[in-house]
Amino acid sequence: MFKSIRWKITIIFVLLVLVAEILIGFFNLIGVASHYHREFSNSIDKVFTEEIKNDLLAAANEITVPTIQEGDLSTVIQESSLNNISMINDILASHSGSLGITASRFYCIIDGSLGNVIQSSDGTTNVEKTPSLTEALNGTESRETRINKMYMDYAFPLMNGDTVKYVVYVKDNCHQQNAVTKALIDILLVSLVLSLVISLIFGTIISKSITVPIQQLALHARKLADGDITALQKSDSKDEIGNLTNSLIQLAQTRKISSEQAMGEKIKVETILQNMNDGILAFDMKGNLIHYNRESKKLLKRRYFDDIKFDRFFKEINAGITLGDLLYMQPEGSVEREVKLSNQYLRLNFATFKMDNKIGGIIVVIHDITKQEKLEKSRRDFVANVSHELRTPLTTIKSYSETLADMPDVDRELQVRFLDVIASESDRMARIISDLLTLSELDENQTYIKTPEKIDVRKMLESIVERMSLTAKKKNQKLTYRPTNEVPVIMGDYDVLERAIINVVSNALKYTSDGGEIKVYSSKVYNDICIKVVDNGIGIQEDKLPHIFDRFYRVDKARSRDTGGTGLGLAIAKQSLESSFGGKIKISSEFHKGTEVTITIPCKQ
Please state the closest distance from residue 605 (CB atom) to ligand ADP, in A.
25
Please state the closest distance from residue 499 (CB atom) to ligand ADP, in A.
12
Residue 363 or residue 545: which is nearer to ligand ADP going by CB? 545
For 566, residues 6+ apart whose C-beta sits below 8 A from its C-beta are 389, 428, 431, 432, 435, 552
Please state the closest distance from residue 552 (CB atom) to ligand ADP, in A.
8
Residue 176 or residue 600: which is nearer to ligand ADP going by CB? 600
Please state the closest distance from residue 417 (CB atom) to ligand ADP, in A.
25
Please state the closest distance from residue 562 (CB atom) to ligand ADP, in A.
10
3-state secondary structure 202-225: HHHHHHHHHHHHHHHHHHHHHHHH
Half-sphere exposure of residue 342: CA atoms within 13 angstroms, side-chain side? 4
Rounded CA-CA distance 505/405 in Å is 41
Residue 450 or residue 467: which is nearer to ligand ADP going by CB? 467
The answer to whether 84 and 119 have CB atoms below 8 angstroms apart is no
Please state the closest distance from residue 453 (CB atom) to ligand ADP, in A.
26
Residue 100 or residue 569: which is nearer to ligand ADP going by CB? 569
Question: What beta strand segments (E) does 137-262 contain?
Answer: 142-144, 152-160, 163-172
Residue 37 or residue 554: which is nearer to ligand ADP going by CB? 554
Residue 102 or residue 563: which is nearer to ligand ADP going by CB? 563
For 542, residues 6+ apart whose C-beta sits below 8 A from its C-beta are 589, 591
The answer to whether 115 and 129 have CB atoms below 8 angstroms apart is yes
- Taking the chain, what is the end-to-end CA distance rounded to the nearest angstrom? 88
Phi and psi dihedrals of 423, rounded to 5?
-65, -45
Please state the closest distance from residue 516 (CB atom) to ligand ADP, in A.
10
In sequence order, what DSSP letters do the residues of 529-556 get, joined into one string? EEEEEEE-SS---GGGGGGTTSTT--SS
Rounded CA-CA distance 503/570 in Å is 7
Please state the closest distance from residue 571 (CB atom) to ligand ADP, in A.
6
Residue 208 or residue 431: which is nearer to ligand ADP going by CB? 431
The residues of the shown chain that bind ligand ADP, judged by CB under 6 A, are 503, 507-508, 511, 535, 537-540, 548, 553-556, 560, 565-571, 595
Residue 108 or residue 555: which is nearer to ligand ADP going by CB? 555
The answer to whether 512 and 518 have CB atoms below 8 angstroms apart is yes
Phi and psi dihedrals of 409, rounded to 5?
-95, 15
Phi-psi region of 510 (alpha: psi -120 to 50; beta: other; left: phi over 0): alpha
